Structure 1
Amino acid sequence: MTTSTTLLDRKTIEIIKSTVPVLAEHGEAITKRFYEMMFKNHPELLNIFNHANQKQGKQPKALANTIYAAAQYIDNLEAILPVVKQIAHKHRSLEIKAEHYPIVGEHLLLAIKDVLGDAATDEIIDAWGRAYGIIADVFIQVEREMYQESATKQGGWNGFREFTVAKKVKESSVITSFYLKAKDCGPISNYQAGQYISVRCKMNGEEYTHIRQYSLSDSPGKDYYRISVKQETSNGETPDGIVSNYLHNNVNEGDVLEVTAPAGDFVLNQENSDPVVLISGGVGLTPMISMLNTIVRDQPQRKVTFIHAAINGETHAMNEHVKNIVNKYENVTSYICYEKPTEDDRAENRFHKEGFIDDAWLKSILNNDNGEYYFCGPVPFMKVVNSTLKEFVPEEKIHFEFFGPADQLN
């Protein structure tokens, strides 16, 4: 990457850096316009991108943050290599290829010019054109290595592979698990606890295919992949989830789904035996269950604190499974927070805290600053957890995953 950035002359770097304040102010407007123009000219890309994230503005915001970071660190892209790798994992899982990058670059420059007007001088557009070429090359290089690794590992593959739904299990009132086995009965890629797969659905009445990424919710090393999907229903602000409702209502045992090989950099660190704290909200528990199952299987003496927040006992998935683990392993402790517990929840003392997870409660049950901390869930939940952990946990020990486009936690 150092060699790549040196291809940019000092003047180009200075021009790019000078546009940072403009990107901070107009970044989302630029990326929103970018997607509008690109999908108009290349509607086939709607087979790849998440339509809901476009409508809700999540994807334009995530792209704006990425462009902003790239502009800030254009002379030191190594500084944002972790972000590049995180995005590259998603791209590999979605089958983004090198030939897509020129299309993106063309429409990004058009959008910058369209939104900024005369302020986007030829000099600025030219500088951004050269800078985009460097940034694109970095992504292409990283993703090329990921595609090669995915295809050459035992049981690995590139592209979409057909998997049969071997079992469908209702885990709660809103979450259902799907056990997926390779239709060709061949071996499947192993993975690291915390990773995800992409599922592509072709639905009757829909012009384009829909792809969603779901965390694998069981320990690796099995002859199946398990995903546990929350049925997303309209809350007035967001519509029903197209794919989640399709999976819940239309996909049954024996049906076939198209899947890409596991990906993702939010993974359990098994190189040491330090204590682990797993904190989840709602369906954010899926990668945590994978991590928990993996620890008790491979490192049964490792201390684990499992903290989960749900609306109530009816929506709480895999509660019995976690309780069984806690009863079996003395080193595993579990805490539950219910936002709106039912009368049965109260009568049977199913939870430790009512309401939302907050700073004071987290601090009261977390007194170890030497462990590894992992969390996942709704963004407001993640912001609270992140803010609390940063007070007493070193940054390198804090790990989190967004379900959907990356957001800002600070």
Structure 2
Amino acid sequence: MRKDFPIFESDYIYLDSAATSQRPKQVLDAVVDFYQKSNANPLRGLYDLSIDATDRYEDARKTVANFIGAKSNREIIFTRNTSESLNLVAYSYGLSNVNEGDEIVTTIMEHHSNMLPWQMVAKEKKAKLIYLEPNKEGVIEKSEYESKITPKTKIVAIAHVSNVLGVTNPVKEIAEYAHKMGAIVVVDGAQSTPHMEIDVNELGADFFAFSGHKMLAPMGIGVLYGRLELLEKMPPFLVGGEMIEYVTREGATYAEVPHKFEAGTVNAADAVGLAEAINYIKNIGFEAIHNQELLLTERLMSGLKKYDFVKIYGSSDPKKHCGIVTFTIDGVHPHDVSTILNEDKICVRAGNHCAQPLVEFLGASSTARVSVYFYNTLDEVDTFLDKIKEVREVMGYGA
């Protein structure tokens, strides 16, 4: 499969797929093919080329709907990324349905994309924002969410998989309890969708957001799933071309869902690329993806544990990391770790990973992160582990 990825013709060891994945030739070709054969403005023209562009765009929507178990294609809204999807929910649903004295529950482990929008809603509506906190293994326990989700809770916003700890949160159980309390559930699926089969209805997600670029697709295409009955009641997030039915000097009536939320010229080519990425992932199969990621994660964690100067964050069980291993090296700033590894063309992440409250909660100011995908190899992991000792040597700690 590595032959499908042009970037691997170079000698980079890419261990940052939680930030963005690499793209196979099939996806790149699908985008180019759209521009070469179907390049017209979708949804606007009555000529054959525009109709073809529209068909390919709507076929991509259908592919996404089937991929995540949506009941209707109309429940799929194309956005730029997970951040835009979550902002859409916050501005369109949150500001319309949260009132003074209400509560919004999220977790301390959220990516900023699923934290800042709810901070905004809470501030604007004078609501209370409450944070769930994990235990030492990174798990949110039943007692934690049952004590903080109450009849005052209007929204529960939670990441399916943490982009720092790799832990898979018990979204289904939390959603069941939240619904009993009368709340709706917003799920950040950016880190889960590339790695596991998703059924939004089985999860109990009222809204579910993810990005194409983390799952082999182009940058600039994201998805928001929303239950149709909720979407139909929500005001548009952006207004302008194509999202209207009729416009007068005094006002406008809006188009039906999903087009009500897709103002302006849509990103049809990258939607087609996302559909091709989904097909690629389905051809591999999530079982094969999981097995390769677990093999790599086990090797990573066992290798890092041999160094007494390395601290690994999160669960001690590789099965609970979803291909993500976050760590620190005693006496070495994570930025230095990344910079030194880069000298050998090894790509790892360093910083707070857009999850600063979680990193501080873990007692760190910054961490390094390795994240693998099915296209990584054991040889790459072993090279990384060998170079970790050299990081200490470069910083003057000796062999």
Q: Of the two structures, which has the highest relative contact order with CA contacts closer than 8 Å and spacing of 6 or more?
A: 2
TM-score by shorter chain over 0.5? no
User: TM (normalized to structure 2)?
Assistant: 0.28
